[in-house]
Structure 1
Amino acid sequence: MQFGIFSIGDVGRDPHTGRTPGEHERIKAMVALAEKAEEVGLDVFATGEHHNPPFVPSSPTTLLGHIAARTQRIILSTATTLITTNDPVKIAEDYAMLQHLADGRVDLMMGRGNTAPVYPWFGKDIRQGIPLAVENYALLHRLWREETVDWEGRFRTPLQSFTATPRPLDGVPPFVWHGSIRSPEIAEQAAYYGDGFFANHIFWPKDHFVRLVNLYRERYAHHGHGAPEQAIVGLGGQFFLRKNSQDAVREFRPYFDNAPLYGGARLEDFMEQTPLSVGSPQEVIDKTLGFRETFGDYQRQLFIVDAHSIPLKTALEQLDLFGEEVLPVLRKEFASGRAADVPAGPTHAERVARRDRERAAR
C-alpha cells in the first residue's frame, strides 16, 4: 500500500492572516512539501496540471524534475496530466525524459481536468473530451512500446515512421493511472489497458465512486488482466490534523468556508458525506481505514494537505503529525488481512522484474 500527498498548486488568501503568497513562493512551497513527504516516510508526491490562475503548476515535468534532484526515494507523479489538450508525442517524450532523470521514480495520472476554457486555449473542442482522451492515450500507449510508429487519427497530424525519444527507462514505460470523478468511459479505458484507476473522491459522496471502481474492477477482469480484486485502484482524500479534534475544526473552518470549491457547503455535512477528515490523529486513522471497507483492498492513497490557502508552515506541521502518529498505524492496519494475491502499489523496479520473469517463462 502506497501513501502520499498531492497538490493542486492553488494560490489564495489565508483567512487567518489576510496574506496571499506570490507565485514564486507557492512554487517553492510545493517543492518543500515534496521534500517533507519523503522525510516523514510517505511513498508518493503528485502535482496537478493547470494553465490558469489561481494555480501555478503549468509544467509538471519541470517541477517534478527539480524535485527528483532533491529527493532519493519518493515516487513522483501527476495528479492530472491533461491527455485531452497535451500532444501525446510530447507527453511520451517529456515523461520518458523525467523517468530517466528520476531513475524510474515516475508515474502519471491521465485526466481531462476541470477547467473548460483550457480546451480552446490549446485548440481543442471540449465536446470531444472523451474521444480525445481515448484516441490520445491509444497513441501514447503505442509510442512508449513501439520503436517505430505509423499513426493516423482524428485529432492530430499523422505520424510516419516516428520514434519517440528517449525510449522508456529499461524498456518499461511509466505506470499510468486514469483519473476520473464521473466518467465510466475512463474506467473502461483503464481496465482495457490493464492500467490503474484513480477515483479522486474528494468532493462527492462515496456511493458514486463505488460504482466507478466496481465497474473498473469488473472490466479489468473481463479484459483478462486478473481477478477483480487484483485491479490497481487509487483513492483521493483530504485531512487536517491537530492533537485534538476541536482545535482542528476551529482552525480549518475558515479555510473551508473561504474555498469556492466547496460551494458554500457546511463543514460538518461535508465531513460526513465525503472523505474529508478534520480532527485528531485517531479520527483520521479511523476514517481512512474505512475506505477499505467501502472499496476493498487498494494500492494507493493520496491526500491533499495544502489546498484552499493553507500556508506552508501549517501543511508541514500536518505532515509531521501524520508521519509520527497516523502513517505507522495505517501501514500496519492496511497490511493486516490483505490477501496474498492483491498486488502492491506499482514501482518501476517491480514492473521491470515482472517483465523479466514473464520473458524467462516464455
Structure 2
Amino acid sequence: MQFGIFTVGDVTTDPTDGHTPSENERIKNILTIAQKAEEVGLDVFALGEHHNEPFVPSSPTTMLGYVAAKTSTLLLSTATTLITTNDPVKIAEDYAMLQHVADGRVDLMMGRGNTGPVYPWFGKDIREGIPLAIENYALLHRLWTEHTVDWQGKFRTPLQGFTSTPRPLDDVAPFVWHGSIRSPEIAEQAAFYGDGFFANNIFWPKEHYMKLIGYYRNRFEHYGHGTAEQAIVGLGGQAFMSKNSQDAVNKFRPYFDNAPVYGHGPSMEDFTEQTPLTVGSPQQVIDRYASMREHFGDYQRQLFLMDHAGLPLKTVLEQLDILGEEVVPVLRKEMAKDRPASVPDGPTHASLVAKRDAAVASAPELVEGR
C-alpha cells in the first residue's frame, strides 16, 4: 500500500491574516513540501497540472525533476497530466526523460482537467474531451511500447517512422493511472490497457465512486488482466488534524469556508459527512481511512491533499509530521490486515521490470520488440 500527498498548487490568500503568497513563494513552498513528504516516510508526491490562475504548476516535469534531485526514495507522480491538451509525443518524451533523471521513480496520472477555457488555449474543443483522451492515450501507449510508430488519427498530424526519445528506462514505460471523478469511459480506458484507475473521491459521496470503481474492476477482469480484486485502484483524501478534534475544526474552518474549489458552498460539517475530508484528531483520520476498503475493496494508493486553501507552509509541514508519524504507520498496519496475498502492491519501476522479465521468460515470442 502506497501513501502520499498530492497538490493542486493553488495560490490562495490566507483568510486568517490576509497574506497572499507570490507565485515564487508558492512554487518554493511546494518543493519544500515534496521533500518533507519523503522525510516523514511517505511514498508518493503527486503534482497537478494547471494553466490558469490561481494555480502555478504549469510545468510538472520541471518541478518533479528538481524534487527527484533532492530526494532518494520518493515516488514522483502527477495529480493530473492533461492528456487532452498536451501533445502525446511531448508527454512521451518529457516523462521518459524524467524517468531517467529520477532512476525510475516516476509514474503519472492522465486526466482531462476541470477548467473549460484551457481547451481553446491549446487549440482544442472541450466537447471533444473524451475522444481526445482516448485517441491521445492510444498514441502515447504506442510511443512507449513500440520503437517505431506509424500513426494517423483525428486530432494531430500523422507520424511516419517516428521514434520517441529517450526510450523509457529499461524499456519499461512509467506506470499510468487514469484519473476520473465521473466518467465511465475513462474507467473503461484504464481497464482496457490494464492500467491503474485513480478516483479522486474528494467531492462526491462514496456511493458514486463505489459504482465507478466497481465498473473499472469488472472491466479489468473482462479484458484478462487479472481478477477484479487485482485491479489497481487509487483514492484521494483530505485531512486536517490537531490533538484535540475541536481545535482542528476551529483552525481549519476559515480555510474551508474560503477554499477556491468548495468555499462559500456546503458547510464543513456537510462536506465532511459526504466526502473523505476529515477534520479532527489523528485517530479520527485513522478510523475514517481504515474503513475505505470496506467500500472500495483493497486498493494500492492513498493520496492526501494537505496544502490547499491558503494554509501557511508552517502549518502544512506540521500536518505532514502528524500524517507521517502518527497516521500512516497505523494505516499501513490496518490495510495489511487480512489483505489477500493475490492483491498486488502499488506499482513501482522495479515491479514493472520484474513483471516484464517474467513475461519474457514465459512467452518471449509474445513480447513486443523481442
2: CA distance, partners of 1:27 / 1:226: 41
Is 1:307 the counterpart of 2:308? The answer is: yes
What does 1:49-198 correspond to in 2, within 5 Å? Answer: 49-198=49-198
**Cα deviations across residues 174-215 of structure 1 (Å, max 9, x unaligned)?**
000000000000000000000000000001111111110000
TM-score w.r.t. length of structure 2: 0.97
2: CA distance, partners of 1:322 / 1:182: 28
What does 1:5-24 correspond to in 2, within 5 Å? Answer: 5-24=5-24
C-alpha displacement of 1:321: 1.1
Q: Which one-letter code corresponds to 1:337 in the other structure?
A: D
Secondary structure of the 1:329 match is helix
Secondary structure of the 1:237 match is coil
**Cα deviations across residues 47-79 of structure 1 (Å, max 9, x unaligned)?**
000001110000000000010000000000000
C-alpha displacement of 1:360: 1.3
**Cα deviations across residues 90-110 of structure 1 (Å, max 9, x unaligned)?**
000000000000000000000
Q: Which one-letter code corresponds to 1:83 in the other structure?
A: I
C-alpha displacement of 1:259: 1.4
**Cα deviations across residues 152-180 of structure 1 (Å, max 9, x unaligned)?**
00000000000000000000000000000
In structure 1, what is the equivalent of residue 295 of structure 2?
A: 294
Secondary structure of the 1:261 match is coil
**Cα deviations across residues 340-361 of structure 1 (Å, max 9, x unaligned)?**
0000000000110111112112
2: CA distance, partners of 1:82 / 1:299: 23
In structure 2, what is the equivalent of residue 2 of structure 1?
A: 2
**Cα deviations across residues 117-152 of structure 1 (Å, max 9, x unaligned)?**
000000000000000000000000000011100000
C-alpha displacement of 1:260: 3.5
Percent identity among equivalent residues? 74
2: CA distance, partners of 1:276 / 1:239: 5
C-alpha displacement of 1:295: 0.4
Secondary structure of the 2:261 match is helix
C-alpha displacement of 1:17: 1.2
Q: Which runs of 5+ in 1 are unaligned?
A: none
**Cα deviations across residues 250-280 of structure 1 (Å, max 9, x unaligned)?**
0000000111421521101111110001100
In structure 1, what is the equivalent of residue 335 of structure 2?
A: 334
2: CA distance, partners of 1:179 / 1:322: 24
In structure 2, what is the equivalent of residue 357 of structure 1?
A: 358
Q: Which one-letter code corresponds to 2:27 in the other structure?
A: I
Kept in 1: contact 2:12–2:260 (CA 8 A): no
2: CA distance, partners of 1:304 / 1:230: 26
Secondary structure of the 1:234 match is strand
Is 1:34 the counterpart of 2:41? The answer is: no
2: CA distance, partners of 1:360 / 1:50: 42
Secondary structure of the 1:247 match is helix
2: CA distance, partners of 1:257 / 1:323: 26
Is 1:203 the counterpart of 2:168? The answer is: no
In structure 1, what is the equivalent of residue 325 of structure 2?
A: 324
1: CA distance, partners of 2:355 / 2:261: 41
Secondary structure of the 1:320 match is helix
- Structure 1 outlier segments of 4+, above 6 Å: none
2: CA distance, partners of 1:79 / 1:261: 16
Secondary structure of the 1:100 match is helix
C-alpha displacement of 1:301: 0.2
Q: Which one-letter code corresponds to 1:78 in the other structure?
A: T
CA RMSD of aligned residues (A): 0.6
2: CA distance, partners of 1:110 / 1:324: 30
2: CA distance, partners of 1:283 / 1:129: 38
Q: Which one-letter code corresponds to 1:124 in the other structure?
A: K
2: CA distance, partners of 1:167 / 1:325: 41
In structure 2, what is the equivalent of residue 346 of structure 1?
A: 347
2: CA distance, partners of 1:261 / 1:119: 20
TM-score w.r.t. length of structure 1: 0.99
1: CA distance, partners of 2:137 / 2:260: 32
Q: Which one-letter code corresponds to 2:46 in the other structure?
A: A
**Cα deviations across residues 293-347 of structure 1 (Å, max 9, x unaligned)?**
1101000000000011111110000000111111110011101110000000000
1: CA distance, partners of 2:98 / 2:260: 34
Q: Which one-letter code corresponds to 1:156 in the other structure?
A: R
Q: Which runs of 5+ in 2 are unaligned?
A: 364-370
2: CA distance, partners of 1:266 / 1:243: 23
Q: Which one-letter code corresponds to 1:175 in the other structure?
A: F
